[in-house]
Structures are given as structure tokens and as C-alpha cells.
Structure 1
């Protein structure tokens, strides 16, 4: 997304906990005026410091991607409270911290666009990804409410809900190792690529769409769940049974 915004002539702030990754991304971008910052979305003070640094450099932000997230998997009975706290603190409250940091400036300038990365897991209601799916469903709900709240304030909101494609998300894995292997397999064999997903997200963002489903099969699956929920649930159960059989 940073590359695509830079190609469009935007100045981009690249933010990561890893200073080297942020710096490498900023250095790779076409155009000029980009910058890199270090911040942790799980830390209030860190996000407040990021806000201050970004506003000191540019005075305002037009587009905000709340994109940081961590992965987990497993059934409810196998989860721990520590896992719940960590997933919600990063995946949900990380988005909250980003909004609290940069939304006031967007309201003051009467314009902006917030894009929150959730996951199709937040819509699917699938088993065996309890903490991850719930944290991403919460991001969808937050985005829906925020959209309604800001629609007359000049600030747009989008929520991005991809399924599997190759990223570094599994580096942060915690939970059932069998589900991690499943995730690795799904990423490896995904028909969608990093570039195809980024192109789809950027195009949808430029059109101002709210719900962005950038992987190929998910628009059909979302319609199936909405229009034929009984059939969708039967297919979901069949998929889950197939996964259990392969794990066994």
C-alpha cells in the first residue's frame, strides 16, 4: 500500500516496531518526502509519540491505515486469558489507538480516510480461530460504527477483509500449532498474491468503498452467508470437518 500511494504522488509515513523494516520500506518508495517511524500499536504512549512526530513533520494526515495485527488459532476450550488479552490489545485496541491518535486531526481539517485491516475471519464465523476471528470481527463492528459516526464529518472509513495470501503474519503466531500449519498451507497455495490484494485494496479505497473484500473468492462467500445463511453454515461445517480429518 505504501508503494501504491507513493506512485500516486502521496508522501508516506512507514511505521513498524522494527526500525529496519520501516526504514527499508520508506527507502524503497518512488518519489520524495517519505519518512519512517518506530511505534508499537500495543502501547498508548508509543502511539501518542507517533502522532506527535507525524504531525510535527506534515501537520496532518489524509489517509490512515490501521494495519498491524498478530495471528492465532485454536478452539475456545484451548485458549487462555493471556491469549485473549494479547489478541484484543493488538488487533482491536491497536486500531482504537490509531483512530484516537489521528482522527481528531482529520475532523479538524474536515477530511480524511481511515482504513482498518480486519480479515474475512471477522465475517466468516469459522471454528478453530477463536481469538483471531473475534478480534477481527470487533474491527469490523468498530469500522461500521465509525463510518456511521463520521459520514457527515467529511471522513471516510473502510474495513479490509482479505482471506489467505502470502504475508509475514504467521511470524507472530500463538495458539494451536496444527492451525498454524493449516494457515501456512493456505497461504502457500493461495490464488491471491500480495500485489493483487494491494491493487484491489487501493482501487477500492480510491472509490471510497466501505467493505473491501480483496481476495477473489470472498465476495461470493460473503453473499452466500448473507443471502443463504443455512447453506453457508452447512458448507462451513463441511470445511471444518475436512480440516479436522486432515489434522487427524
Structure 2
């Protein structure tokens, strides 16, 4: 049986975007899904699309206590163990250079994007190990290795999540628990409208999403299919795979070229210096 079929799953950030797509696709595969989101109304809207096989829960993943409460609620509602955890909750941040970005923006981005995943792994993984099966999918983003200018907090948070995913995969080898790191580029979601993204950066991101972005449904299906095959890295789009290869084979040239293009183009328009 495939891991993502009939799964007892918890999805964070399930109120919209990739998180909602994960929840809906897992339900289509016969699963029961706990739809967690900091916005309870959004979580309820996702659960309503699924029906009786979904439970909406409010959870701020930046708070360990709330993630523990989420795990307890999930175990009670599912009347059994969780066997798939999708650590997807995240926020966008961008539009300023390192040194210009307020430290409060750094802290909030790391609290949600990094510590939210740390909390999810810390709370759920021990039970997955004990039961000897299951899986973890962490939404990392191609920002985890692309190092695009004017995205410092987001890049750092996602790079840390990729490192965490790789470490976890090594530690869980042979336990029956699989780990997948999802690294898409542009996905047509509402993340560009977040409060920590400068207006000009948001406009550029929205344009890129519209013209080159994949749908959240397609990204979620691709990630779940890859998880079924036991894949650690999932880079859905061709541009993600291209950047991955460039960073691995010509890293210094890649970074220098990225900096040059940034000074000549988007960085200038975004107010970078």
C-alpha cells in the first residue's frame, strides 16, 4: 500500500495554498485529515470541502504548546496514531536587503517557517518511530538553495528546513519512517500578499506566479507521489531542478551571476542597493 493512501494525516497551514491542496488530495486518496491553521476560519473552509473526514484545528506552529495540543487533538479524533505529518505552514518575507530588514521580521519568519517545522518534527516524529511506519513531508521551497537577493529571512528559514529534513532522513533510515523535502519555485498561492513582503516584491512575485507558477494542486500531487516512492528531494518544476544543478556544479559562478543580475534588474526595482 502506498504511504499516502488512507493516511491518518496532519497538515499545517491547511487553510489555503499548498496546505489546502495537500489536505484535499489526501482526502481524495482515502485519508482522514486534521487541517491545522493559525486562521481557524480558513481551516474550517478547507475541512468543509472535505466533509466528515476532516477536522479543522487552530494552531500557531510557532508555539510548541499549541503543536503538542494539535497532536493530542489529532490522536483523539483519529482514534489512533498519526502516520503522515505535513509541515507546511509558512509565511513570506522579502523586498529588503540584509541590514535593512527589521529584526522583528527575521524573528517572525524564523518562528513560523523554521521553528514551526522543528516543533512539528519534535512532537510527531517520536511516535512515528515507535509505531515503525509513517512519513514526514516538509515544505522547504527552492529558496532553500537558490539564495535570491532581497529574501534573506525566507531563504535562511527554508535552508534550515532543508538541512533539518536531510538530518531527519539520515536519522530515520531503517525505521520505516520516510522523509520528503518539497522544494518548489513559484506556486500560485496567496503567500506574496503577506505583511512581511514589500509591495514591489509582492508585485513581482505575483507576476511570476501568474506566468510561470504551478497550481498548488499539482505541486501537492507531485509531492505525495514522490513520498510514496520514498524520495527525499522533490523539485517539481524544471527551473527548480536547473537552479539545483547550477548551485551544485558551479556554486561560485552561480552566486556571482545572481548578484550581477540583481544589481542590474529586480534588486534595483525593489529598492536594493
Range class of TM-score, shorter chain: over 0.9
2:118 is the counterpart of 1:76: no
Give the Cα–Cα distance (whole angstroms) in 2 for the partners of residues 34 and 183 of structure 1. Answer: 32
- Larger RCO of the pair (alpha carbons < 8 Å, separation 6+): 2
CA contact (8 A) 2:188 2:213 kept: no
1:135 counterpart (139, 157, 174): 157
Report if aligned partners of 2:149, 2:267 keep a CA contact under 8 Å in 1. Answer: no
The CA distance in 2 between the partners of 1:147 and 1:247, in whole Å, is 37
Residue 190 (structure 2) pairs with residue 205 (structure 1): no
Deviates more, 1:13-22 or 1:130-139: 13-22
Give the C-alpha shift of residue 194 in structure 1: 2.0
User: Is there any run of 5+ residues in structure 1 with no aligned partner, and where?
Assistant: none
Pairwise CA distance, 1:108: 1.3
Name the residue aligned to 1:56. 76
> Do residues 109 (structure 1) and 128 (structure 2) align?
no
Structure 1 range deviating more: 163-172 or 70-79 = 163-172
Q: Does 1:14 align with 2:31?
A: no
Q: Does 1:226 align with 2:239?
A: no
CA distance in structure 1 between the aligned counterparts of 2:86 and 2:49, rounded to whole angstroms: 19
Mapped to 2, the partners of 1:207 and 1:13 lie a distance apart of 23
Q: List 4+ stretches of structure 1 deviating above 6 A.
A: none
Do residues 244 (structure 1) and 264 (structure 2) align? Answer: no
Q: In the aligned structure 2, how far is the partner of 1:42 from the partner of 1:157?
A: 21
| Residues 168-227 of structure 1 deviation map (CA, whole Å, 9 limit, x = unaligned) | 212333153332222222222224222322222122122121011122321122112212
Q: Check conservation: 2:113, 2:158, Cα contact below 8 A.
A: yes
- In structure 2, the residue matched to 1:190 is 212
- Cα pair 1:79 1:175 within 8 Å, conserved: no
Q: How big is the shift at 1:19?
A: 1.8
CA distance in 2, matches of 1:149, 1:198: 25
Number of residue pairs the alignment of both structures matches: 247
- Of the structure 1 ranges 134-143 and 71-80, higher mean CA displacement relative to structure 2 is found in 71-80
Q: TM-score of the superposition, structure 1-length normalised?
A: 0.92
Considering only aligned residues, what root-mean-square deviation do their CA atoms show, in Å? 1.8
Q: Which deviates more from structure 2 when the two are superposed, residues 220-229 or residues 127-136?
A: 220-229
Q: Tell me, what secondary structure is at the counterpart of 1:70?
A: coil
Give the TM-score of the pair, scaled to structure 2: 0.84
Q: Summarize deviations over 1:134-153 as a string: whole Å, max 9, x none.
A: 01101011111111111122
The whole-number CA distance in structure 1 between the counterparts of 2:62 and 2:206 is 25
Q: What is the aligned partner in structure 2 of residue 179 from structure 1?
A: 201
Instruction: Give runs of aligned pairs for residues 161-176 of structure 1, distance below 5 A.
Output: 161-176=183-198
1:33 aligns to what? 53
Which 10-residue stretch deviates more, 167-176 or 6-15? 167-176
5+ residue gaps, structure 2, are: 1-21
